[in-house]
Amino acid sequence: MGCFACFDGGNREQRKEQDRLASAEARAKAAEAAQRRQEQFEKSAAGRAARAQLQAAAKQSTNSNKVADGLKLKLC
């Protein structure tokens, strides 16, 4: 095709636009599917257990920070 690449009547630009639109649509569908999977996980027993574990870890972290602050005050 080499020498005649400029005579394709704009098909290349049209294909690029179609590819761009197809990619955007695929990304949107993937995001919707990921959102559905996330919602299903959160409703599942494993999801509830993971959320409880994260909350417990966050609570423990804030409690340990309070203890560390108390120790700093006592040492000074």
pLDDT in tens, the chain (76 residues): 555 556 666 788 899 999 999 999 999 999 999 999 999 999 999 999 999 999 999 988 877 766 555 556 555 5
Domain membership of residue 65 (yes or no) is yes
- pTM of the predicted structure, to 2 decimals: 0.54
Domain membership of residue 4 (yes or no) is no
Domain membership of residue 20 (yes or no) is yes
Domain span at residue 32 reads 9-43
Number of domains forming the structure of the chain: 2
Residues 6+ apart with CB under 8 A from 18: none
Co-location of 14 and 38 in the same domain: yes
Domain membership of residue 3 (yes or no) is no
How far are the Cα atoms of 19, 67, 69, 70 from residue 74, in angstroms, in the given order? Answer: 66, 11, 9, 6
Domain membership of residue 1 (yes or no) is no
Domain membership of residue 74 (yes or no) is yes
